[in-house]
Amino acid sequence: MLIQQTAIVGSGIIGRSWAIVFARAGVPVRLYDHLPDNRAKALEHIGEALAQSAPLVGDATAQKAVLDRIAVADRLADAVADADFIHECIDEKLDSKRTIFRELDQCAKPSAILATTTSSFPVSTFASELPGRGRCIVVHPATPPHLLPVTEICPAPFTDQAVTDATFAFMEQCGQTPVLIRFEQSSFVLNRLQAALVVEMLRCLNSGIISPGDIDKIISQGFGLRWAFLGPFEGVDLNAAGGIREYLERFGFIFDDMARQNGLEGAVVTPEAIAMLEKYARDQLPLEALGERTAWRDRSIASLRELKKESARHR
Amino acid sequence: MLIQQTAIVGSGIIGRSWAIVFARAGVPVRLYDHLPDNRAKALEHIGEALAQSAPLVGDATAQKAVLDRIAVADRLADAVADADFIHECIDEKLDSKRTIFRELDQCAKPSAILATTTSSFPVSTFASELPGRGRCIVVHPATPPHLLPVTEICPAPFTDQAVTDATFAFMEQCGQTPVLIRFEQSSFVLNRLQAALVVEMLRCLNSGIISPGDIDKIISQGFGLRWAFLGPFEGVDLNAAGGIREYLERFGFIFDDMARQNGLEGAVVTPEAIAMLEKYARDQLPLEALGERTAWRDRSIASLRELKKESARHR
């Protein structure tokens, strides 16, 4: 499935951001919104967002070339007519999803992929009765996708494998970082991870132990600098000479204690979890290379702090 | 309390990193470790760490100037004799803390501040019987402190206010970002926030919904890029035209649901929490400036992605 033409339905913040992602990768976009006012303003907003993300796009000429690949359509049928990939980005209501997918399944060409940017409705909850249900798939980004590459791909049990494969390939072609959500759950993974952190931040706030600004600083002047380069598992792998296995065998109780204090039952640091994480970590990096990776992390963080100083000057 | 001379007890990763923080700010350091082997290798390790963090230190000449401010002492008494600020960085055992603080309280000069880098033992658990308990305080960093500036300061109920104030001032002078932990708890805040995220990552891993590498990417190719510049509360403030109040009033149920699913009782997004967070956010930034701050965030993230591309080339 070669994706040569895309359509985006809904020109809010996420729809416009996806338009940038596709057009930036050289793929034409037709953008539709049911509100004439949103349609009228979409290209102007996109132009501004392109200017703010110049390091990822290039100079004014390059920005214009991207913008020129995005057209606004006044009718849904015109937007999707010859699209190979259609991304639904309308409001987050189950009924709206059901209605628009019925319509898309009728007016899109038979080979088109029908993606939804939903953060909370697995495809099974609104498209399982459609004739074209096999081409429906969740493609849920971090916000906004033209800046944060990670993108959750969640097929329904009835989604064709070829659709999942083509969606992954297309996201990679666009420079995104697709991750596979293996089965449907109400909130996928991305929002769960953020919520878990924010819930703990709120608990600290509510207990009075620390001010709101100081909580933010623990992330923005602390872990955030590390997590910009390494996921937390990769980070933990650097914290013991024996890597993540040694770390979790020695300090895993910290996480189990935390889980227990928060009312969860059973251990989270199980032998199976340690085995999976060790395989992941050692497939990426042999133990002998941990020192070098740590030095790389340190250089990267030091450069980021330089960048932040510069960036703060233009705040 | 002017801090003109420091001592560090324990030359492991954290002790050496603190030595860099102090010496980089122009303040001389005497470093002691009870193991001769650690003492012998300390300066070499510090020299390497200085080279890896060159953007924060400067060229080889500047690195040498920092290194020259650090001396290794063969006896504890020599290291601490005329120090104004003594940072204990030995092994994380309650008995060891009790013993070393008794010793430090005897051999340090009376005006010296006695800080501990502990992540888990509030000062009250090991220093409450000391004659000099009023000068004891927790100064716990993110790891490593010479790269991650945020630093938890937790006084005991008996710590002199002047000691807390001087510790804050000294950390700021060193370019760190001190945050106040208002009362003693077993694990302060920094590690709680990290543990909350890692526990949720482990739960996702254990459920089989996603691979370990994909979980890491959700942070390192997603939220981590945002959190490098903005704390999660500051980030949420940009997600609704009415700022964090509007966001939490509309979407706060997401966090309450998450808390409930994890076995916590009661809401976390309370009216009091919203009021505190709104005051914090609006003191920082008027509502009218949210658009400009969002544009700044976008420019910053775009620059960071450029930096990451460059950094990946040297991995």
Chain A residues closer than 8 Å to B307 by CB: 300, 303-304, 307
Same-domain check for residues A81 and A104: yes
A172 and A42 share one domain: yes
Residues A194 and A296 in one domain: yes
Cα–Cα dist B230/A156, whole Å: 35
What tokens were used for B138?
């927790």
| pLDDT of B260 over the 80 cut | yes
Dig out the tokens for A292 from the structure.
């070098």
What pLDDT sits at residue B265? 82
Q: Which residues of A touch B215 (CB under 8 A)?
A: 189, 193, 231, 233
- Supply A174's token pair: 């666009």
Q: Provide the mean pLDDT of chain B.
A: 96
Q: Which of A87, A91, A94, A144 lies closest to A116 in space, CA to CA? A: A87
Could you tell me if B246 and B240 are in contact, meaning their C-beta atoms sit under 8 angstroms apart?
Answer: yes
Structural domains of chain A, count: 2
Burial class for B48, CB neighbours closer than 10 Å (0-12, 13-18, 19+): middle
Q: How far is CA A285 from CA A294, B48, B96, in A?
A: 12, 22, 35
Query: Does some domain include residue A1?
Result: no
| pLDDT tens for each residue of A167-179 | 999 999 999 999 9
Q: What does the alpha-carbon distance between residue A49 and residue B68 come to, in Å, rounded to a whole number?
A: 48
Can you tell me the mean pLDDT for A87-107? 97
Task: Determine, yes or no, domain membership for B211.
Answer: no
Q: A280 and A223, same structural domain? A: yes
Does B308 sit within 8 Å of A142, measured CB to CB? Answer: no
- Asked whether the predicted pLDDT for residue A266 surpasses 90, the reply is no
Task: Provide the pLDDT for residue A314.
Answer: 83
pLDDT in tens, B2-46: 899 999 999 999 999 999 999 999 999 999 999 999 999 999 999
CA distance B4 to chain A (A): 26
- pLDDT tens for B86-125 read 999 999 999 999 999 999 999 999 999 999 999 999 999 9
Closest by CA position to B160, among listed B136, B125, B187: B136
CB B18 within 8 A of CB B45: no
Co-location of A33 and A102 in the same domain: yes
Is residue A257 one of the residues assigned to a domain?
yes
- A134 and A216 assigned to the same domain: no
Q: Are residue B65 and residue B122 in the same domain, yes or no?
A: yes
DSSP character for B238? T
CA–CA min distance A128, chain B (Å): 21
CB contact under 8 A, B180 and A142: no
B38 and B125 belong to one structural domain: yes
Partner-chain contact B177 A210, CB within 8 Å: no
Do B208 and A182 form a contact (C-beta atoms < 8 A)? yes
B278-311 confidence digits (pLDDT tens): 999 999 999 999 999 999 999 999 999 999 999 9
Asked if residue A247 and residue A130 are part of one domain, the reply reads no
pLDDT of A261: 83
**Which residues from chain A sit within 8 angstroms of residue B225, using beta carbons?**
147-148, 228
Q: How many CB atoms lie within 10 A of CB A280?
A: 21
Domain-located, residue B102: yes
The predicted model scores a pTM of 0.95
ipTM: 0.96
pLDDT above 70 covers a percentage of chain A that reads: 100
Find where tokens 């995220």 sit: B197
Q: Which helix (H) or strand (E) holds B217?
A: helix B212-218
pLDDT of residue B80: 98
Domain boundary among A122, A146, A180: A180
Q: What is the bridge-based pairing of β-strands A136-141 and A150-155?
A: antiparallel
Which of A209, A264, A284 is the closest to B263 by Cβ? A264
Predicted pLDDT at A16: 98
A285 touches chain B (CB under 8 A): no
Per-residue pLDDT for B315 more than 90? no
CATH code of A238's domain: 1.10.1040
pLDDT at A315: 80
Residue B119 inside a domain? The answer is yes
pLDDT at residue A262 tops 90: no
Whether B138 and B264 map to the same domain: the answer is no
Q: How confident is the model at residue A223 (pLDDT cuts 50, 70, 90)?
A: very high
B275 in contact with A, Cβ within 8 Å: no
Residue type, A188: F
Mean pLDDT of A278-304: 97
Judge whether B221 lies within some domain: no
Q: pLDDT digits over A118-152, tens only?
A: 999 999 999 999 999 999 999 999 999 999 999 99
Nearest CB among A182, A195, A262 relative to B264 is that of: A262
How does the average pLDDT of chain A come out, rounded? 96
> For residues A87 and A146, what is the distance between their CA atoms, to the nearest angstrom?
14
Q: In percent, how much of chain B has pLDDT > 70?
A: 100
CATH code of the domain in which B113 resides: 3.40.50.720
Q: In what order do the strands lie in the sheet with A177-180?
A: A70-72, A29-32, A6-9, A85-88, A113-116, A136-141, A150-155, A177-180
Contacts of A175 in chain B (CB under 8 A): none
Please indicate whether, in this complex, the C-beta atoms of B218 and A48 are within 8 angstroms of each other.
Answer: no
| Residue A152 belongs to a domain | yes
Tell me if B233 and A208 make a contact (CB, 8 A cut-off).
no
Q: Is the model's pLDDT at A1 over the cut of 80?
A: no
By the 8 A CB rule, do B57 and B69 touch? no
Q: How far is B310 from chain A (nearest CA, A)?
A: 9
Residue A277 has pLDDT above 90, yes or no: yes
Residues B234 and B169 in one domain: no
Output the pLDDT for position A224: 98
Task: Determine contact: B186 vs chain A, CB below 8 A.
Answer: no
pLDDT value at residue A187: 83
Taking the Cβ of residue B99 and every Cβ of chain A, the question of whether any pair is shorter than 8 Å is answered with no
Q: For B13, which residue in chain A has the nearest alpha carbon?
A: A239
Buried b (16+ CB within 10 A) or exposed e, B81-117: bebbbbbbbbeeeeeebbebbeebbeebeeebbbbbb
- Can you tell me the mean pLDDT for A269-281? 97
Q: Residue B156: helix, strand or coil by DSSP?
A: coil
**Each residue's pLDDT tens digit, A192-201:** 999 999 999 9
Residue A232, domain member (yes or no): yes
| Among candidate residues A180, A210, A240, the one where a domain is terminated | A180
SS3 A151: strand
- Based on the fold, state whether residues B155 and B252 are members of the same structural domain: no
Q: Which of A124, A151, A180 corresponds to the end of one domain?
A: A180
Domain encompassing residue B245:
228-313
Binary contact (A54, B219; C-beta < 8 A):
no
Closest alpha carbon to A33 in A82, A78, A95: A78
pLDDT tier for residue B262 given thresholds of 50, 70 and 90 = confident
Calculate mean pLDDT across residues A239-256.
Answer: 93
Least Cα distance to A20 among A53, A5, A4 occurs for A53
